[in-house]
Amino acid sequence: MFNKYKRHLPNIITTIRFILALSIPFLYLNGYILLSIIIFMVAAISDAIDGYLARKWNVVSNYGEIIDPFADKVLSIGVMVLIAIKINPLLYIPLFLELLIILLGVYGYKYNRKRNVVPIGKVKTFILFTAIAIALSTSVIPTLKIIIIPIIGITIIFQALTLKEYYGKLSKSKKNYRVIIEEDSSVIFVDSDNN
Q: Which amino acid is at 160?
A: A
Q: How far apart are CA 75 and CA 67, in angstroms?
A: 12
Q: What is the pTM of this model?
A: 0.82
CATH architecture type of domain 2-191: Up-down Bundle (1.20)
DSSP string, the chain: -HHHHHTTHHHHHHHHHHHHHHHHHHHHHTT-HHHHHHHHHHHHHHHHHHHHHHHHTT---HHHHHHHHHHHHHHHHHHHHHHHHHT-GGGHHHHHHHHHHHHHHHHHHHHHSS----HHHHHHHHHHHHHHHHHHHTTT-GGGHHHHHHHHHHHHHHHHHHHHHHHHHHHHHHHTEEEEE-TTS-EEEEETTT-
> Which tops the pLDDT comparison, 181 or 14?
14
Identify the pLDDT of residue 54. Answer: 85
Mean predicted lDDT score pLDDT of the chain:
85
pLDDT digits (tens, 9 = 90+) for 82-128: 999 999 999 999 999 999 988 887 777 666 655 667 789 889 999 99
Residue 77: how many CA atoms within 13 Å on its side-chain side? 14
pLDDT digits (tens, 9 = 90+) for 103-115: 887 777 666 655 6
